[in-house]
């Protein structure tokens, strides 16, 4: 088996990957405490944190070298997304990098976008009817990429839209393409829409990775609590009603992490081979993250449901982040259609 074939099945990390994780984990441990997260809830955005993150290269790494970036792979980006999820960081990094990568593929190479000085938004809903639509970073993005019929369009607004309160504590806003102050068509036709569809798959993969990181930190919070609370003279973590759900969380973390990395590798290297994987990763983590975060709240009992508890901050984001794309069930249906078409065409089942 050659190295390329092996890599299709092996998603272990290199030393460079491990160094990347360590660097971003240290960054968020230093600059994004739970107090920072709470302080940003009213706006859904911490400008200082965003500037620090971009200064570290988190925005430029995501762009190809041809656009002035550092040419990171999509697998590299899943590692950063995990750390963003672990810290529930109030920054629109995932939307921005997916929009920026799309813009680069369509020929837009702007240094301010590469550096993160200008934030791009992206309409990531599975279904995109005409009219106004909710955009996850609409309240902070300078420009937003949407589709309009067979066109991929860049919208600009002189005045930012007001933030809409939402479960995920995101800088979400209603954006109406008809009221844009500036409008430019980036590309038209089937190829343009295919590039847009790829951007949505990248968003699904990175969101799934972020949710895996979120669940891992939620599990850590719940496990540490379970070590310090006793009943009948023993830590509550020794009880099956606590230990089994914690074990399930660990399985979800590893499963979601492996699935998002696998989806990222195939999208980068063989995009036509496993087109269902981005949707699978997203749907899996959208469901499992909410269940895991709910269990973490239950493990902490009355403390867990208090607004001061970190578990609550993780729970609302676990439920709210996937809803930026609308009902995750729509993505599940799209995955079903992909598989059904492959089966009806008589294609052999891909290797597990």
Per-residue pLDDT tens over the stretch 43-52: 999 999 999 9
Q: How many CB atoms lie within 10 A of CB 26?
A: 11
Q: Write down how long the chain is.
A: 352
Q: Give the least confident one: 43-47, 103-107, 232-236.
A: 232-236
State pTM to two decimals. 0.93
| pLDDT of 188 over the 80 cut | yes
Rounded to an integer, the average pLDDT of 329-347 is 89
Residue 245 or 31, more confident: 31
* pLDDT in the model for residue 229: 82
Rounded to an integer, the average pLDDT of 163-177 is 95
Per-residue pLDDT tens over the stretch 273-296: 999 999 999 999 999 999 999 999
Q: CA dihedral in degrees (49, 208, 321, 143; nearest 10)?
A: 60
* pLDDT in the model for residue 351: 55
| pLDDT of 7 over the 90 cut | no
Q: With bands split at pLDDT 50, 70 and 90, how would you rate the model's confidence at 311?
A: confident
Q: Give the least confident one: 17-21, 107-111, 128-132, 226-230.
A: 128-132
| Cα distance from N-terminal residue to C-terminal residue, the chain | 16
* pLDDT in the model for residue 306: 65
* pLDDT in the model for residue 1: 37
Sign of CA dihedral 208, 214, 220, 223: negative
**Cβ contacts of 188 within 8 Å, gap of 6 or more:** 150, 151, 152
Of 98, 64, 75, 100, residue with least CA distance to 18? 75
* pLDDT in the model for residue 298: 86
Q: How far apart are CA 322 and CA 329, in angstroms?
A: 11
Residue 144 or 343, more confident: 144
The answer to whether the CB of 285 falls within 8 A of the CB of 211 is yes
Most distant CA pair in the chain: distance in Å? 68
């Amino acid at each position: 088996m050659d190295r390329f074939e092996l890599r299709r099945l092996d998603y272990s990390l290199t030393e460079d990957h491990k160094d990347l994780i360590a660097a971003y984990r240290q960054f968020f441990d230093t600059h994004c405490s739970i107090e920072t997260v709470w302080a940003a809830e009213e706006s859904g955005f911490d400008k200082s944190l965003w500037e620090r993150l971009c200064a570290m290269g988190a925005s430029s790494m995501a762009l190809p070298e041809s656009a002035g970036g550092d040419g990171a792979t999509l697998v590299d980006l899943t590692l950063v997304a995990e750390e963003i999820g672990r810290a529930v960081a109030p920054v629109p990094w995932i939307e921005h990098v997916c929009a920026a990568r799309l813009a680069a593929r369509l020929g837009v190479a702007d240094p301010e976008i590469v550096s993160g000085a200008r934030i791009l938004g992206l309409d990531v809903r599975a279904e995109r009817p005409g009219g106004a639509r909710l955009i996850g970073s609409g309240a902070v993005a300078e420009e937003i990429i949407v589709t309009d019929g067979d066109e991929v369009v860049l919208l600009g607004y002189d005045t930012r839209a007001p933030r809409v309160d939402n479960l995920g504590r995101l800088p979400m806003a209603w954006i109406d393409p008809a009221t844009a102050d500036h409008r430019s068509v980036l590309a038209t036709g089937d190829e343009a829409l295919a590039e847009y569809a790829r951007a949505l798959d990248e968003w699904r993969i990175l969101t799934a990775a972020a949710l895996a990181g979120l669940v891992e930190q939620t599990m850590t919070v719940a496990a540490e609590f379970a070590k310090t609370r006793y009943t009948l003279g023993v830590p509550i973590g020794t009880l099956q009603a606590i230990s089994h759900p914690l074990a399930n969380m660990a399985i979800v973390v590893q499963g979601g992490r492996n699935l998002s990395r696998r989806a990222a590798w195939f999208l980068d290297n063989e995009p036509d081979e496993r087109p269902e994987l981005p949707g699978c990763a997203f749907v899996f983590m959208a469901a499992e993250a909410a269940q895991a975060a709910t269990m973490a709240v239950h493990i902490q009992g009355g403390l867990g449901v208090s607004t001061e508890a970190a578990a609550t901050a993780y729970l609302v984001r676990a439920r709210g982040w996937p809803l930026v794309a609308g009902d995750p069930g729509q993505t599940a249906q799209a995955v079903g259609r992909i598989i059904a078409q492959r089966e009806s065409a008589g294609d052999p089942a891909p290797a597990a």
